[in-house]
Amino acid sequence: ARRRFQCRRCCAAGGFGIAELIDPFGTGSLRESILASWGSSPTRLREDSASEVDLVRGGYRDRLSTELAQNAADAAQRAGVPGRLSVWTDEAGALHVANTGAALDVSGVHALTALRASAKATADPGVGQFGVGFTAVRSASDEIEVRSRGGGVIFSAERTLTALRERDMTVPESGVPVLRLAWPTSTPPAAGFDTEIVLTPRPDVQAESFAGGFLDEAVDLLLELDALDSIEIDGVVVDCVRTELDDARVEIAIGSRTWLQYTTSAARWIVPMVDGLPVPAAPDVLRAPTRSDELLSLPALVVADVPMQPDRRRVLPGVSVAEVAHGYPDFVASLPASARVSFVPEVGFARSAIDGALRELIFR
């Protein structure tokens, strides 16, 4: 869709400046509606700014790699293609994160600009593309570009500030809400990928540190997100090969390491393999599907379909984990007889309320 926009400066000077832009997602009308809501309610502007700051400093702190990997996994799952994620820094110091899979669409743009909403509301509740977790990009950048097949969008603190000043709006003390106003971009993603996110780091942020964070978390992300087959960080490729053993069991090979995965109706139980035999995993956390703050003491990693709070750090209050626990004995029974006793949870103090509930149910 081609939309025609008047250039404010030229027209204000009496000229006929007309710029022809490609805006397939209708970001112009989105900006106008959001700016109009801020103009009629300065309180809403302050709330949007505070909400973005709270998400970055709170629930989505230290989750940049996790949230972008989740977006990539969901895109691959929706498109039914092998999931590939690539991370690199360019000569100018910008951080690039590219993935295969479903491209950005109108619902995705609306989710990105909504801040509190997600395009995954009616899809798989486990992983979603462009939900509020995308706010994690603000931990590194004030200038964010999403390039995709069919068009992209730019989020910019500088452009947002200019838009507010043009309308004589008061800038909140907490700063401008960067992820509310979007501008179109026609720059395509890198060759071989369907979507690419480009983050221009703030002066106090080192892009290399975020690329290194992806490398540190690559194995965990590949275990958690079974729609991802590989993660490449600055030329270093980490591949994941999954081999089905039967209807419930899958062997997972990442580099020189191997895991055994057992799938039940509500969870995936994963244990490392040593010399062809399963061995207990170290105490870990609940993964739903990525790492949460719920500490566990079980001798196996668990990736469970459990309702989580919006920041995906804690389980929602009152949620039952009975169905998750119900599959654990079947998992243990599937192991070689000599290994089973090692996977009976040890008696002791629970590491969290969820850990206590799971252990009690498993013992029963």
What does each C-alpha distance from 149 to 94, 101, 103, 334 come to in angstroms? 21, 10, 6, 44
- The rounded distance, in Å, linking the Cα atoms of 358 and 364 is 10
Residue given tokens 């706010």 in the structure block = 135
* Count of other CB atoms within 10 angstroms of residue 320: 12
What percent of the chain is modeled with pLDDT above 90? 72
In the predicted model, what is the mean pLDDT of residues 89-116? 90
Exposure b/e, 250-267, CB count within 10 A at least 16 = b: bebebeeebbbbbbbebb
- Per-residue model confidence (pLDDT) at position 140: 87
Tokens describing residue 226: 């079974």
In the predicted model, what is the mean pLDDT of residues 134-143? 89
pLDDT digits (tens, 9 = 90+) for 264-285: 999 999 999 999 999 999 999 9
Tokens describing residue 37: 């809501």
User: With 50 as the cut, is the pLDDT of residue 15 above it?
Assistant: no
Q: Which helix (H) or strand (E) holds 196?
A: strand 195-201
149 and 103 Cβ atoms separated by less than 8 Å: yes
- Per-residue model confidence (pLDDT) at position 22: 84
- The rounded distance, in Å, linking the Cα atoms of 316 and 286 is 13
What does each C-alpha distance from 357 to 172, 244, 325 come to in angstroms? 44, 31, 9
Pairwise pLDDT comparison (198 vs 114), residue with the higher score: 198
User: With 60 as the cut, is the pLDDT of residue 323 above it?
Assistant: yes
In the predicted model, what is the mean pLDDT of residues 133-152? 91
DSSP state of 131: S
In the predicted model, what is the mean pLDDT of residues 93-107? 94
pTM of the model: 0.86
User: With 80 as the cut, is the pLDDT of residue 303 above it?
Assistant: yes
Please state, rounded to an integer, the average pLDDT across all residues of the chain: 87
pLDDT digits (tens, 9 = 90+) for 228-248: 999 999 999 999 999 999 999
- The rounded distance, in Å, linking the Cα atoms of 74 and 83 is 9
What does residue 275 show for φ and ψ, rounded to 5 degrees? Answer: 55, 35
Strand runs labelled E in 245-361: 249-254, 257-263, 267-274, 277-278, 284-287, 291-296, 301-304
- Per-residue model confidence (pLDDT) at position 101: 96
- The rounded distance, in Å, linking the Cα atoms of 66 and 214 is 8
DSSP state of 267: E
